[in-house]
Amino acid sequence: MSFPTSTVAWSQYPMQPPAYTSVPARTTLPRPAPPPPATPAPATPQKVEWSPAVRAYVSRAFDAENAIAGISQAEMTEKLRAIISSFAERDALDAVDWPNHPLPQEILRAERAAAKSLHPQVYQHSALMTSPNELANPPFDTPQSKKRKSQDKDELQARPAEASIPPWRRTNLEDRITYSNAHNDKRHKKNALFGDTASKLDQADLEKRKQRFQLPKSGNKSTPPWSSPRHDSDSDMSTAPVIGTNQSLEKSYFRLTAPPKAETVRPLHVLEKSLAMLTKKWKAEKNYNYICNQFKSLRQDLTVQHIKNAFTVKVYEIHARVALEKGDLGEYNQCQTQLKALYSQKLGGNPAEFTAYRILYFVYTCNKTDMNDLLAELTPADKTHPWIKHALNVRSALALGNYHKFFRLYLDAQNMGGYLMDMFIERERLHALANISRAYTNVAQRFLTDELGFENDDACREFLDSHGAQHIIDEKVDEQGARQFRVKVREGAAVFESLRAAAFSKVDIKGQI
């Protein structure tokens, strides 16, 4: 094909569109999005260094000797935290006389005693104060003021009457409740009276209130202002010791409901004569009700006079042995608890003997937690002592299921340990019988007598009969005409297993530590 040579305008030939779509060239690669900024690690709070006085105060608060019946450790811990936090917020920790400052459990005890005696309207106002000590120190923060930290302290000080009103009364809670007009009027009058009472309390009223509860004045620091009854047999009604003048050797025990009087308390030299008399009477008459009553009275006289010496240890040890002999675990536990505290003061006595009793007691109650704590406290010298070693062997034999060794140890019990082991010997015999029934088809009755630690065959037969095993005992006569008894233990396996499970299902103890 040839094109004409003549000049032709190119406009006569329209241009065809290209067969592709043009795309602009990419000159740079996409960059990845920058990572989000790392959040800074939270600053580690600086460790607060408490002074030795504060540490000693906390240690005394958790000391078992200072525990008060009816006040749990959780309540005491919360009160302790509130006390220390209150002074720390005001930067006044160093200004407190911590050795003489009341313990948190003592403050709680005083608050409860005061709450029971106050008039209802005054009791509402007393709830604004944490302790009687704060009656003499109004500037201290109260628990309600700690709950109102979001409010300005200067504003609260400018409005003392309003600050003393509970937070829930200052909210609109009352507006949400529908009352009759007369009832609303009564409530408003009561609230107004409450505010007036709070605002009119002056130092003279506070002193009168302290006298009412037999509290010393704020200037007297010799005696801590905490005196309320503790509900146990060894409690004292007052922190100040009483010097007894009573000369009677015998005195019945009565629970104290008021501070003891000197004419009703026997001094130490009279108590020593009384103990000698009671020891002789116990050996001669064995009248436990009388002896227990007299010993409780004797212990009470020691407590109210704050007498803690070797004689005090002797009294508690003798009473504990007598209680064990009669199986009175309630009195034994009270004595054992006091003895643990007395032994920690190195006042003499027989700590090894009663440590062995505690081990056997924890075996009886199956208390593994307290048993582990006690084992951790034992020194290598303690573990070599014959009495403690015997108790540890009893524990080890039962832990390993070695009933043969256990019953040999039962027959060789030390001191009063046999009385404690008597409390769980039946349970362990049933346990051993359940194991024997799985290993033997039938055995001689004499075999069970020896293996289960019975004194004779009659005692073994009585034990089997009392537990419904009469039908598995066969009587035979040998060639010499002697009677022999065999026990078909395999047939009684189900019975022994059910008895064993029932024996370990519950341990009912009065007055457990």
Q: What is the CATH number of the domain that holds 276?
A: 1.25.40.990
Based on the fold, state whether residues 184 and 99 are members of the same structural domain.
yes
Examine residue 12 and state whether it is found in any structural domain, yes or no: no
pTM: 0.54
Examine residue 56 and state whether it is found in any structural domain, yes or no: no
Distance of CA 79 to the CA centre of its chain: 16
> Structural domain of residue 306, as residue ranges?
262-413
- pLDDT at residue 499 in the model: 87
Q: Find the CATH number of the domain harbouring 453.
A: 1.10.10.10
Examine residue 441 and state whether it is found in any structural domain, yes or no: yes
The tens digit of pLDDT for each residue in 330-358 reads: 899 999 999 999 999 999 999 999 999 99
At residue 230 the predicted structure's pLDDT band, cuts being 50, 70 and 90, is: very low
Report yes or no: 486 and 445 within 8 Å, Cβ to Cβ: yes
Based on the fold, state whether residues 405 and 323 are members of the same structural domain.
yes
Q: What is the DSSP letter of 118?
A: S
pLDDT at residue 116 above 90? no
End position of a domain, from candidates 212, 234, 251:
212
Based on the fold, state whether residues 336 and 454 are members of the same structural domain.
no
Examine residue 233 and state whether it is found in any structural domain, yes or no: no
Based on the fold, state whether residues 445 and 337 are members of the same structural domain.
no
The tens digit of pLDDT for each residue in 184-193 reads: 555 555 555 5
End position of a domain, from candidates 212, 234, 250:
212
CA-based diameter of the chain, in Å?
Answer: 160
Based on the fold, state whether residues 386 and 336 are members of the same structural domain.
yes
pLDDT at residue 136 above 90? no
Based on the fold, state whether residues 144 and 195 are members of the same structural domain.
yes
**Residue 365 burial class via C-beta count within 10 angstroms: exposed 0-12, middle 13-18, buried 19 and up:** middle
Examine residue 300 and state whether it is found in any structural domain, yes or no: yes
- pLDDT at residue 469 in the model: 83
Domain count, the chain: 3
At residue 225 the predicted structure's pLDDT band, cuts being 50, 70 and 90, is: very low
At residue 55 the predicted structure's pLDDT band, cuts being 50, 70 and 90, is: confident
At residue 143 the predicted structure's pLDDT band, cuts being 50, 70 and 90, is: very low
Based on the fold, state whether residues 362 and 473 are members of the same structural domain.
no
Other C-beta atoms lying within 10 Å of the C-beta of residue 265: 22
Distance set, CA 271 to CA 182, 311, 322 (Å): 66, 9, 18
Alpha helices in 201-328, H assignment, sequence order: 203-212, 268-285, 288-304, 310-325
Residue recorded with tokens 């359940």: 434
Task: Region of 241 please: left (phi>0), alpha (psi -120 to 50) or beta.
Answer: beta
Q: Radius of gyration of the chain from Cα atoms?
A: 40
Based on the fold, state whether residues 202 and 267 are members of the same structural domain.
no
d(CA 9, CA 11): 5
End position of a domain, from candidates 413, 445, 464:
413
Three-state SS annotation for 182-231: HHHHHHHHHHHHHHHHHHHCCHHHHHHHHHHCCCCCCCCCCCCCCCCCCC
Examine residue 293 and state whether it is found in any structural domain, yes or no: yes
Based on the fold, state whether residues 79 and 170 are members of the same structural domain.
yes
Based on the fold, state whether residues 350 and 461 are members of the same structural domain.
no
For the segment 212-219, the average pLDDT, to the nearest whole number, is: 46
What is the average pLDDT score of the chain?
75
- pLDDT at residue 93 in the model: 79
Examine residue 476 and state whether it is found in any structural domain, yes or no: yes
